[in-house]
Amino acid sequence: MKRILVIEDNPDLAYGLRNNLEIEGYDVEVAKDGVKGLARVRAVFPDLVVLDLMLPGMDGFRVLKTLREEGLGMPVLILTARGEEADKVRGLRLGADDYVTKPFGVLELLARVEALFRRVAAPRRNGGPPPSAVEKFGDIEVLAPSRTVLRRGAPVALTPKEYDLLVALMRRDGACVTRHELLTEVWGYSAEVMSRTVDTHVAELRRKLEGDPANPKHILTVRKTGYRLER
């Protein structure tokens, strides 16, 4: 049974989330603030975290940043009343895998949760064979067994989603990958409202891997279509 930790301080919303997730067959635990939520993640290692951003004690951004810095790679779904794009982008950059903006429909939330679990269970189901043990382009090395990326021999800290996106691009061996294909393969679903998610993650990959992110040599844009990786 998949274990989900909901970190949410609104008791009515937390109850509703727990009830609906348990009906779907998940084992659900609720933490009422950021400090307790972080402690529970460390203690029980849930399969997925549903994380509110506006939390007492420690806000969701700090919780998420700490989790990723400690190497905890379980999927994180941000649940927030904040509708500003900057907040969503910040959450994605800190390592969130998806977000839902309040108010939201229960069916939408459940679909996002199911998609995240599908992605974790079968990250290589699309796009051909997985990369070989060591892949190289430019001064970048990708070590598939350990999911490690090196730039000029030094480790690069990629979020789990950034790594999966990089692998999806490498797998095409120079061919173009559409945003729709990347959403389906890396995120496990396709939603027009999430199209900027791909662009945001590509921008982060360029910032971390390209010598000049504004004029990339390897992670290239295919106008009005998607992206491709030039070795």
* Alpha carbon distance 71, 155 (integer Å): 14
DSSP state of 19: H
Kindly report which listed range (183-187, 197-201, 211-215) carries the lowest average pLDDT score: 183-187
- Taking 90 as the threshold, does the pLDDT of residue 203 lie above it? yes
Q: What is the pLDDT of residue 82?
A: 65
Question: Which pair of tokens denotes residue 161?
Answer: 């989603």
Nearest partner of 71 among 162, 166, 159, judged by Cα: 159
Q: What is the pLDDT of residue 127?
A: 47
Kindly report which listed range (49-53, 63-67, 150-154, 190-194) carries the lowest average pLDDT score: 190-194
Residue with tokens 């295919």, as numbered in its chain:
222
Q: What is the CATH number of domain 134-229?
A: 1.10.10.10
- Mean pLDDT computed over 106-113: 89
Task: pLDDT band for 90, please (50, 70, 90 cuts).
Answer: confident
Rg (CA), the chain: 18
DSSP state of 227: E
DSSP letters, 143-208, are: EGGGTEEEETTEE----HHHHHHHHHHHHTTT--EEHHHHIIIIISS--GGGHHHHHHHHHHHHHH
Coil, helix or strand at residue 26: coil
pLDDT, tens only, 4-19 = 999 999 999 999 999 9
CA trace torsion 109, 185, 148, 66 (10° rounding):
-10
* DSSP β-bridge partners for residue 78: 51, 99
Name the pairing type of β-strands 27-31 and 3-7: parallel
Coil, helix or strand at residue 52: strand
- Taking 70 as the threshold, does the pLDDT of residue 52 lie above it? yes
- Mean pLDDT computed over 109-118: 87
Domain range annotation of the chain: 3-121, 134-229
Phi, psi of 218 (to 5 degrees): -120, -50
pLDDT, tens only, 208-225 = 999 999 999 999 999 888
* DSSP β-bridge partners for residue 52: 79
* Alpha carbon distance 147, 223 (integer Å): 29
Enter the pTM of the model.
0.61
- Please say whether the beta carbons of 212 and 138 come within 8 A: no
Task: pLDDT band for 207, please (50, 70, 90 cuts).
Answer: very high
pLDDT, tens only, 140-184 = 988 876 678 889 888 888 888 888 899 999 988 889 998 888 888
- Taking 90 as the threshold, does the pLDDT of residue 115 lie above it? no
Superfamily of domain 3-121: Response regulator (3.40.50.2300)
Task: pLDDT band for 195, please (50, 70, 90 cuts).
Answer: low
